Structure 1
Amino acid sequence: MIWKKFLLFFSLIGPGILTAIGDNDVGGIASNSMAGAHYGYSFLWILLIITVTLTIVLDMCARMGVVTGKGLMDLIRENFGIGWTTFSIFCLTIANIATIISNFGGLAGGIEIFGISRYIFVPIITLAIWYLVTKGTYKIVERGLLVISMVVLSYIGSAFLAKPDWNLVIKQTLTPSIQFNQDYLMLIVAFVGTTIAPWMLFFIQSMIVDKGITKKHINFVRWEVWLSSFLSDYAISFFIIVACAATLYKHSIKIADISDAAIALKPLAGDFAFILFAVGLLAAAILAIFLLPLTTSYAICETFGFENGLNKKPEDAPVFYRVFTGLLLIGCPFVLIPNLPIFPLIITAQVIAGISTPILLIFILLLSNNKKLMGKHKNSFIFNFLAWISVAAIILTIAFYMFLTLTGKA
């Protein structure tokens, strides 16, 4: 009996772990690296709080996907009308395009660490991604993405090779500290944007629907979400911050480019730590270049009622695959522009995503509390309490950051 449940759980794995590991895209790596390099371990407690919020939100999205059999944009359209749906798809698309370009930038910067030209590597990888998605099935794409996602775990190794002070790490993880200045708050907003990224909220729900998971397996799906959020998303972000804090912050090295963190690790933590960090960057970029265009394709098709899904052939879901292809064609050529400032672009993309997040969270909270829609699977009191507190905190942080930005106060 236990073995049957164990095997069933593993057969349902996919949406949760891909969403959680995909959360550590190039923007996530950049934000985590900057946090560790510029502020040491002081962001670890913020990461813990944001991860709890992320888990609650993904749990709501997963439950809605299983119970309704519909994607998030479908539900927004049916329950709030086309006006709010158009607004939501606009927010998502802007945030996703910025994030797609930033991940292509990370791919270009990551491969050049190894002395390979971006002008050769980036187009080849783009073509390979396009071929796998347009010619494969859901199962093939999911398995390919799971293999790539395992490579991102290399960041755990790089953190241990950096030899941090683990007592200090634990202390600062559990001890809140905050700075009320523009740069610090901007990084918190970027953290929100990369940890509770708008694309994730749509992706996990659409993938659950595409996979065909039913209500009888809802508890397995929720377990996957919670385990994935902490064992993959939180763990990877945690170890990236630790690796950079133990080396770059300790030696007062600031980073101005996505590849700086990996290169700076080399003399401080050794060649192997450098290789692990750089390979993790490449894997994260490739994974995100798969996931973000797919999310946008799902959302646009759900908004306007077009056929969508990886189990459908291009001729059966033409808009779905055209949107996916179009987004690849935007991101790939953009990063082939010489001297493009990649790092500011990446952080800006996360800030845009962070500002968009609270709007989408409010829709998710309203939908997951709809008894007619969710029945016995609607939110509990504790879920609502934690979720609304989190949304309020995010909105206040963004408002304060915007105030400092507009008034020019640091």
Structure 2
Amino acid sequence: MTQDTSPAIVHRPWYSRIGPGLITACVVIGPGSIMTSSTIGAGRGYSMLWVVIISVAFMLAYMSLGAKLGAVAAESPGELIRRKAGRWLSVAVGVGVFFIAAAYQSGNNIGVAAAFEAFIDNRMIVAALVVLFNAFAISFLFAFKDMYRMLERLMMGFVALMLASFAINLFRLKPNLGDMLKGFVPTTDMSGDMVTVVGLVGTTFVISGAFYQAYLVRQKGWKVDDLSNGLVDARVGSVIMFLITVMLMSTAAAAFAGRTDVVLESPVDVAEGLKATFGSSAKIIFCLGLFSAAYSSFLVNSMVGGFMASDGLGWGSKPSDLGPKLLTTAGLLTGMAVGLAVMIFDFDRAPTIIAAQAVTVVAAPLVAGVLLWLTSSRDVMGEHVNGPVMTTFAGLGLVMLIVMAGKTAIYDLPAKVEAYRASTATTGEADTADAKIPAAVGGAEVSE
């Protein structure tokens, strides 16, 4: 009697075959993307939905590159860069991403605060809650032996909350499906829309998050044999980004498009606008999604900066290493400090945003170029080196990032610097007038 010696087929549960892509989706869907999507939907209806397809397609391409690099390469990305190009490049990539993450972390703090401010009028209580959630995030870094597994489970919960909350409000609005479908067809008249297109692409095509996919894949323990799982996982994460962005734009289009009585300046305005349509339940549901988006991005964004900077500096890239934990904590504390200054003292975030955009001009194309270069290197990837189709499409994504960086450097940054100078000059004049005339009302408000 012969025995069957063929290897047993192990059927792993579906959730073990995904994870890093979901975490990356949480980086992308934050307060900034919620506001951008909602503002575009309110102002332009469904007409910009086609842009989501393009931006998510580029994000998918680079997430796939990150997943391949993490599964195939024997060394961490920082070690690879140092070996192939030198320490200067690994430091430039890591530190550049860290400063971007730290600068934008204040926005995630303000997004978390916005979810509470919709229900709590006391600013100090809201500030205390922000400090509490920062403390939880820092303790999360040090408390768990298998931090990745806990992070993955937490992000799965946040993704489920986002999908459910944004879908419920959209279905209650009953959007016109015909108009939605038309929105996925590019329009021939693009006059005045390029700024909108670039803004939407910029909030969805987050290259640092795509590069961090390599670290997440390594933390999950995937190797070359798991490469197919990594690529499927990247697609799942991209689909989630697509669905949430489309739901946000479509909700705003159905609720606010064509209305002159609604001005969306913060996520709270979106929540209040939905409350006027459906009552307090719509506001509560939206704020659940807002909190999930803000806090998930809040935690993972800081880890992107901390882990990539630590790896770039040669301080370690594993969750068990001290370097990533300390730099992630530094990013969290920096974002919290700026966020609290804005909430409590009305601190002007403009210098922080200007600095972040200035670093992004250099860092974003650099990070994309390095990821494309590493995954196109046969000595790193072996038989899994990029093919001509992927190289061409990813190259187009790199060109788009360079164009966006050029636009920011030539138009956006000078305009913001000039506006900031003008606002500070106005404030200074008002303060001088106040000093001379004590009875005068306070100076002009500095707006972002």
Tell me which residue corresponds to 1:145.
155
Shift of 1:125: 1.2
Specify which structure has the bigger relative contact order, considering alpha-carbon pairs within 8 angstroms and separated by 6 or more residues.
1
Q: Partners in 2 of 1:158 and 1:349 — Cα distance?
A: 36
Q: Partners in 1 of 2:141 and 2:225 — Cα distance?
A: 29
Matched, 1:26 2:26: no
Q: Partners in 1 of 2:358 and 2:167 — Cα distance?
A: 28
Compared CA separation, residues 135 and 373, structure 1 to 2 (3 A): same
Compared CA separation, residues 107 and 379, structure 1 to 2 (3 A): same
Judge conservation of contact 1:308–1:320 (CA < 8 Å) in 2.
Answer: yes
2:263 to 250, 254, 257: 254
RMSD, aligned CA: 2.7
Bigger Cα displacement from structure 2, 318-327 vs 393-402: 393-402
Any gaps of 5 or more consecutive residues in structure 2? 1-7, 416-448
Bigger Cα displacement from structure 2, 100-109 vs 249-258: 249-258
Matched, 1:245 2:261: no
Matched, 1:47 2:52: yes
Report the identity percentage.
Answer: 21
Q: Partners in 2 of 1:125 and 1:245 — Cα distance?
A: 32
Bigger Cα displacement from structure 2, 188-197 vs 159-168: 188-197
Report the 3-state secondary structure (helix = DSSP H, G, I; strand = E; otherwise coil) of the residue aligned with 1:174.
Answer: coil
Compared CA separation, residues 380 and 407, structure 1 to 2 (3 A): same
Matched, 1:214 2:223: yes
Matched, 1:288 2:297: yes
Q: Deviations over 1:29-80 (max 9, x none)?
A: 1221222122222221111101011101100110000000444333333322
Shift of 1:98: 1.9
Q: Deviations over 1:251-289 (max 9, x none)?
A: 233311232112112112443332222111111111112
Shift of 1:341: 7.1
Judge conservation of contact 2:357–2:413 (CA < 8 Å) in 1.
Answer: no
Shift of 1:91: 2.4
Matched, 1:233 2:233: no
Shift of 1:5: 6.7
Q: Partners in 2 of 1:348 and 1:261 — Cα distance?
A: 26
Shift of 1:404: 4.3
Compared CA separation, residues 303 and 396, structure 1 to 2 (3 A): closer
Matched, 1:172 2:177: no
Tell me which residue corresponds to 1:305.
314
Compared CA separation, residues 235 and 259, structure 1 to 2 (3 A): same
Matched, 1:132 2:140: yes
Shift of 1:318: 2.6
Could you tell me the TM-score, scaled by structure 2's length? 0.81
Shift of 1:169: 0.9
Tell me which residue corresponds to 2:446.
none
Judge conservation of contact 1:99–1:349 (CA < 8 Å) in 2.
Answer: no
Matched, 1:382 2:389: yes
Alignment: residue pair count: 398
Judge conservation of contact 1:152–1:281 (CA < 8 Å) in 2.
Answer: yes
Q: Partners in 1 of 2:352 and 2:50 — Cα distance?
A: 23
Alignment of 1:7-406 (within 5 A): 7=12, 9-115=14-120, 117-136=125-144, 137-138=146-147, 139-153=149-163, 154-176=165-187, 179-181=190-192, 184-230=193-239, 232-252=240-260, 253-310=262-319, 312=320, 317-337=321-341, 338=344, 340=346, 355=361, 356-400=363-407, 402-405=409-412
Q: Partners in 2 of 1:208 and 1:342 — Cα distance?
A: 38
Q: Which amino acid is the alignment partner of residue 25 of structure 1?
A: G
Judge conservation of contact 1:102–1:349 (CA < 8 Å) in 2.
Answer: no
Bigger Cα displacement from structure 2, 346-355 vs 88-97: 346-355
Compared CA separation, residues 202 and 382, structure 1 to 2 (3 A): closer
Shift of 1:406: 7.3
Q: Deviations over 1:124-158 (max 9, x none)?
A: 11112222221012222322232223212121222
Q: Partners in 2 of 1:36 and 1:344 — Cα distance?
A: 25
Q: Partners in 2 of 1:342 and 1:348 — Cα distance?
A: 11
Compared CA separation, residues 266 and 174, structure 1 to 2 (3 A): same
Compared CA separation, residues 357 and 14, structure 1 to 2 (3 A): same
Shift of 1:347: 7.9
Judge conservation of contact 1:36–1:241 (CA < 8 Å) in 2.
Answer: yes
Could you tell me the TM-score, scaled by structure 1's length? 0.88
Shift of 1:28: 1.4
Q: Partners in 1 of 2:264 and 2:10 — Cα distance?
A: 46
